[in-house]
Amino acid sequence: MRAPTSVAALRVLVVEDEISINDVVATALRFQGHMVTQTHDGVAGLAEATRAAYDLIVLDVMLPGYDGYEVCRRLREAGRQTPVLFLTAKGEPEDRIRGFATGGDDYVVKPFSVEELVLRVGAILRRSGPAAASDLIAYDDLTLEPASEEVRRGGRRVELSPTEYRLLHYLLVNAGVVVSKAQILINVWGEDYDGSENIVELYISYLRRKIDDGHQPLVQTKRGSGYVLRAQEA
Ligand code: CA
């Protein structure tokens, strides 16, 4: 898989009571060069998250002590804006998590692959990290320059509306990973948006017309689950 540009080392806190999942997540992130601290319940996780400065918290929802939502709520109350990647179980309503996720946050649904987790972490860093404002993001022959908001496909400039730009940016930082309509709504339209999910389909069609017309299509529909930016449908 072609991942977008590599990311710098992060300080990551993992809060997950299932030892095997905690270890898999920590090992995968250490392998990426990140510094990882592991905690196994909500109380210890919150204490650690407020004690030290982390770039990212990987936070399980179902935890002993405080659950993941409570940890996040208390963290925000303490003035910490550290991005959170929630680990949720299948069946957890997506709108519930949307209520807790703010602009920098995201979630993955268990069971997830290590690859998906690593890509999602990279995406959060690219959105929230210090380098996010200037780094060129590239996938295949598509490039996006955050500083100038310039988008090119095959070297040719593509003009996008602000919403189309944010949608493409979100798909691009998650390249290779399927994102649901609910995730797109949080990240592109914001957590206050309460309109229909159909707006996502509409804007995907606008985006396709502008970046995929006359090229190998990059925006793929995953029926029933969402969309993915990928050169070829696997
Ligand atoms: Ca758990």
Taking only the tens place, the pLDDT of each residue in 20-60 is 999 999 999 998 888 899 999 999 999 999 988 898 999 99
Alpha carbon of 173 to ligand 1 centroid (Å): 27
Report all structural domains of the chain as residue ranges with CATH numbers, in order of start. 11-128 (3.40.50.2300), 137-229 (1.10.10.10)
Query: Which regions of the chain are under pLDDT 50?
Result: 1-6, 131-133
pLDDT at residue 217, rounded to an integer: 94
Q: What is the pLDDT of residues 34-45, one digit of tens each?
A: 889 999 999 999
Cis-peptide into 111, omega within 30 deg: yes
pLDDT at residue 2, rounded to an integer: 41
At 224, is the secondary structure helix, strand, or coil? coil
Alpha carbons 60 and 110: distance in angstroms, whole number: 10
pLDDT at residue 135, rounded to an integer: 67
Alpha carbon of 16 to ligand 1 centroid (Å): 6
Question: Residue 180 corresponds to which tokens in the numbers above?
Answer: 């649901």
pLDDT at residue 134, rounded to an integer: 54
Alpha carbon of 62 to ligand 1 centroid (Å): 4
Q: What is the pLDDT of residues 207-234, one digit of tens each?
A: 999 999 989 999 999 988 899 999 875 5
Residue from 125, 164, 130, 129 nearest 144 by CA = 164
Alpha carbon of 61 to ligand 1 centroid (Å): 6
Alpha carbon of 6 to ligand 1 centroid (Å): 30
Instruction: Evaluate whether 71 touches 39 at the Cβ level (below 8 Å).
Output: no
* All residues with CB under 5 Å from ion ligand 1: 17, 60, 62
Burial (CB count within 10 angstroms: exposed 0-12, middle 13-18, buried 19+), residue 76: middle
Q: Residue 55: CB partners within 8 Å, gap ≥ 6?
A: 10, 11, 12, 82, 83, 125, 128, 129
Alpha carbon of 48 to ligand 1 centroid (Å): 18
pLDDT at residue 130, rounded to an integer: 53
pLDDT at residue 3, rounded to an integer: 43
